Structure 1
Amino acid sequence: MVDLTEQERAAMRAALRPVAELMEEIGWTTPLASLSETQVLTLIEAAIGGFQEAMAASAAQASTEIPF
């Protein structure tokens, strides 16, 4: 397993929203094995996009001050 930072964990939680929105469209009771390739790729894209957006927002808020 990957050793995630707290920033990465927060970005993963932020990525839940776009994935959940897609799952709402697909149907929460739909088995994953029943999803089409397009649906799975769209879910992956939403997860990665949400993660990247959250990480970029976090980096923009980070202090540029040198800690010494």
Structure 2
Amino acid sequence: MQGTTDEERLAIALVMKRLGQTMELIGWDKRLSDLTETDVTALIEEVLEGYSAEMSRIAKSQGVPF
């Protein structure tokens, strides 16, 4: 992403933990090409849900009604 804000970079960093937890369930030894559709869907959902939740939390902590 070009021109990301500090808040966006923070949210991305925080989402990595959620993504790591999902990868623990899937298995770190799998190549991306070996993932099932269900595995990829789970990863995408974690990223989208996590990013949205973290951005909302960050905005609230800064007093932005979101």
Question: When the two structures are superposed, what TM-score results if normalisation uses the length of structure 2?
Answer: 0.88
Q: Deviations over 1:6-36 (max 9, x none)?
A: 1000000011111101100111111010001
What TM-score comes out, normalization by structure 1 length? 0.86
- Cα separation, 1, equivalents of 2:33 and 2:44: 15
Q: How many residues align?
A: 64
The residue identity in structure 1 corresponding to 2:10 is A
Q: Give me the CA root mean square deviation.
A: 1.2
- Pick the structure with greater CA Rg: 1
User: Following superposition, which runs of at least 4 residues in structure 1 exceed 3 angstroms of deviation?
Assistant: none
Per the alignment, residue 14 of structure 2 pairs with 14
Q: Which runs of 5+ in 2 are unaligned?
A: none
Using the aligned pairs only, state the percent identity.
Answer: 33
Quick one: higher RCO (CA 8 Å, sep 6+), 1 or 2? 1
Question: Where does residue 43 of structure 2 map in the other structure?
Answer: 43
Name the SS of the counterpart of 2:51 in structure 1. Answer: helix
